[in-house]
Amino acid sequence: MSTSDGEVTLSLDGRVATLTLRRPGKLNALTPEMLRALAGHLVTLADSDTGVVVVRGEGPKAFSVGADIDRFAALTPVQMLGWTGLGHQVFDALSRLRQPTVAVIHAPAYGGGLELALACDLRIVTASARLGLPEVGLGTVPGWGGTGRLTELVGRARAKEVVLARRTLDGATAEAWGLAAACVPAADLERAVDDLVTRLLGGAPVAVALAKQLIDAAADGAPARVLESLAGAVTTATDDLQAGLTGFRTRTTPRFSGR
- The yes-or-no answer on residue 152 being catalytic is no
Name residue 9's beta-bridge partners: 20
Residue 233, classed as helix, strand or coil, is helix
Q: Which of 7, 33, 58, 135 is catalytic?
A: 135
Candidates 259, 216, 226; CA nearest to 240 is: 259
CB within 8 Å of 46: residues ≥ 6 apart: 97, 98
C-beta separation of 89 from 120 below 8 A: no
| DSSP-based three-state secondary structure for 172 | helix
Identify whether the C-beta of residue 51 lies closer than 8 Å to the C-beta of residue 200.
Answer: yes
CA distances from 108 to 27, 66, 111, 128 (A): 9, 10, 10, 8
Query: Burial letters for 22-40: b for 16+ Cβ neighbours within 10 Å, e otherwise?
Result: bbeebbbbbbbbbbebbbe
CA distance 175 to 195: 17
Report which secondary-structure segment, H or E, holds 23. none
Say which of 7, 33, 58, 115 is annotated catalytic. Answer: 115
Q: Can you tell me the distance from the alpha carbon of 248 to that of 100, in angstroms, rounded to the nearest whole number?
A: 24
Is 58 catalytic? The answer is no
Residues marked active site are found at 115, 135
